[in-house]
Structure 1
Amino acid sequence: MVEVHRTFAAPERIGAEMIGIPAGGEIEFDLRLESVSEGVLVTGTVSAATEGQCGRCLEPLGDEVDVFLTELFAYPDSATEQTTDEEDVARLIDDEVDLEQFVIDLVGTELPLSPVCDADCPGLCVECGVRLADAEPDHGHDIIDPRWAALADKLKGDGVKSDGEEQA
């Protein structure tokens, strides 16, 4: 059994469109490698800082992702290697394990597709795009149905009060 504690830089962005580990971001590996009858069992945690933006208000946000990894890398000519399809089990290649695709898959499934800065984030105003958390409490827009817009324009300067009475 060998315990490995290493830090590597991400070669490219890992994660979803809205949040992920940035290219060049540090990924920490805290792993245990054990020799078993069919290969090398790799277990441990992978941690990294994430960057992204809120899916509601588009404000930048940062977080951390921690995933648990368990994977068997089969020895060449082992029964596992001979009885399973190539894509179903990882293999040792020149006594090395390649964790890149496993980390990409684990991080991709762990991160939310639409992250939020706060569970109660109100998002953006659909009319003007202002962030509603920063807007006035009475923020709103008078929206006239386009079918009635021409009538509203005619009534604006006709001397008619809003309650229907004529002005003197």
Structure 2
Amino acid sequence: MISSDGGLLLPVSLFGDIWPEFGWLSAAVERATGWGGLIIIFIYSFLIAFALPGVSEIVLLAPIDLGLSQTGRLGIIMLVSGAGKAAGSVFAFHLGQEVKQSGPVLQLFQNSWFDLISWSERRTVALAQQWGYAGLAAALSVPGFPDTISIYAFSVLEEDYLKFALATFIGSIGRLIVTVIGVGAVSAFI
């Protein structure tokens, strides 16, 4: 939904309700203001790329006020979040490369015929095998889909740090754009 001042409205308590142990972090993002708020968004995006459960769309709730238009505010948030997630994904990528050294772990991950990994993880692996880095960007553009699943699945299968970070950056920004457009479209009908 869009508020009367043109701001984006999302269900702010969702993250804290689902993962109460991380509610303080979502609350920090929801209260992030000014340049310091951008640092909080970067850190949150970095952590969500490799360690935290949840989704990254919550950064759109940050009441960042840098004297910019609503579009400028959202653009800055998206760029900072994308950079944070790209940095976090490089860390996850490094961990994935370490796991890759363990042949049995990689084979189990790729060839699991039983439900060792969920459908979403299998789908992510299929995207990686078929589309490479473009598949990673596409998987990360899906709102509500946990980032860490895509990032770790791709980190085990791919090898180029720079392409991986770029795909993560593009996918992260794509996801936030899709979210803003989707929320805007829904609010137009309300």
Q: Which bin holds the TM-score, normalised by the shorter protein?
A: under 0.3
Question: Which of the pair is proportionally richer in strand?
Answer: 1
Question: Which of the pair is proportionally richer in helix?
Answer: 2
Structure with the bigger RCO (C-alpha within 8 Å, sep 6+) is: 2
Q: State the TM-score, normalizing by the size of structure 2.
A: 0.23
Q: State the TM-score, normalizing by the size of structure 1.
A: 0.25
Larger Rg: 1
